[in-house]
């Protein structure tokens, strides 16, 4: 059973307890496994948010930093966490689109008000889990989608995960990355690179050209295997 990490950001103890009981009831009734943590203010929550939550239930009216500002801060370190606001302040709904909030739950919290939205959030989490990578770093973690990943590079004993928007560095070997990405359409074109086949625009001689214009060299010893693996993958109808 896959464990889902859930944060509750709520300064009202009774509301937090009610929401936690609702989540625990849902887990029992639906054979789910939740690791639930409760935070009384945004500052404490954000200090711990580097440890990767899957779903965050967030109040908006909080002491100190409010929940909306906390959501913007959270998005700076985690673009994939699913945010659900639990609030009396329905007028913030439009602003919630700016932080890609999935839902609003209007207080008082009930099982009925949470269950359907939680079911949808869990379905989205499972879909994301099929494509997400969580990369450990000294400062915490970075989460990226394999859909956005152009290629992985090993350089100076660091793994560099390149997307069109950013490069994320972590420690490990290219063999580690290759094992984690096995079956997801990533192929080694030389001893330094794993290439996402979905982002290959063309192969010209001993170079592979990616969708953003990046050119990576295909080594002579690897070219035959690389082309065979790429051809087999495309032949299975993958895009």
Q: End-to-end CA distance of the chain, in Å?
A: 30
Q: Is 127 or 47 the better-scoring residue by pLDDT? A: 47
pLDDT over 70 percentage in the chain: 89
Q: What is the mean pLDDT of residues 141-165?
A: 88
Q: What is the mean pLDDT of residues 48-57?
A: 80
pTM above 0.85, yes or no: no
The answer to whether residue 52 scores a pLDDT higher than 90 is: no
Q: What is the pLDDT of residue 161?
A: 95
Mean residue pLDDT of the chain comes to: 86
pLDDT category of residue 130 using cuts at 50, 70 and 90: low
Burial of 219 (0-12, 13-18, 19+ CB in 10 A): middle
pLDDT category of residue 65 using cuts at 50, 70 and 90: very high
pLDDT category of residue 237 using cuts at 50, 70 and 90: low
Q: What is the mean pLDDT of residues 23-29?
A: 96
**Distance of alpha carbon 90 from alpha carbon 68, whole angstroms:** 12
Q: What is the pLDDT of residue 162?
A: 94
pLDDT, one tens digit per residue, over 171-210 is 889 999 998 888 888 999 999 999 998 888 889 889 999 9
The answer to whether residue 102 scores a pLDDT higher than 80 is: no
Q: What is the pLDDT of residue 94?
A: 54
């Amino acid at each position: 059973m896959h464990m889902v990490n859930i944060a509750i950001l709520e300064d009202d103890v009774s509301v937090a307890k009610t929401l936690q009981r609702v989540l625990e009831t849902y887990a029992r009734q639906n054979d789910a496994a939740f690791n639930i943590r409760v935070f009384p203010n945004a500052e404490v929550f954000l200090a711990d948010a580097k440890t990767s939550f899957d779903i965050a239930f967030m109040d908006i009216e909080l002491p100190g930093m409010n929940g909306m500002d906390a959501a913007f801060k959270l998005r700076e370190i985690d673009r994939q966490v699913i945010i659900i606001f639990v609030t009396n302040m329905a007028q913030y709904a439009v602003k919630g689109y700016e932080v890609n909030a999935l839902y609003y739950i209007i207080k008082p919290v009930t099982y009925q008000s949470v269950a359907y939205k939680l079911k949808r959030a869990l379905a989205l989490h499972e879909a994301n889990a099929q494509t997400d990578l969580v990369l450990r770093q000294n400062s915490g973690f970075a989460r990226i989608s394999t859909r956005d990943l152009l290629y992985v590079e090993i350089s100076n004993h660091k793994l560099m995960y390149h997307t069109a928007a950013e490069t994320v560095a972590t420690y490990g070997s290219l063999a580690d990355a290759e094992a984690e990405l096995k079956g997801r359409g990533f192929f080694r074109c030389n001893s330094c690179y794993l290439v996402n086949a979905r982002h290959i625009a063309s192969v010209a001689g001993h170079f592979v050209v990616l969708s953003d214009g990046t050119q990576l060299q295909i080594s002579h010893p690897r070219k035959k295997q690389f082309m065979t693996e790429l051809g087999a993958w495309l032949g299975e109808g993958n895009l």
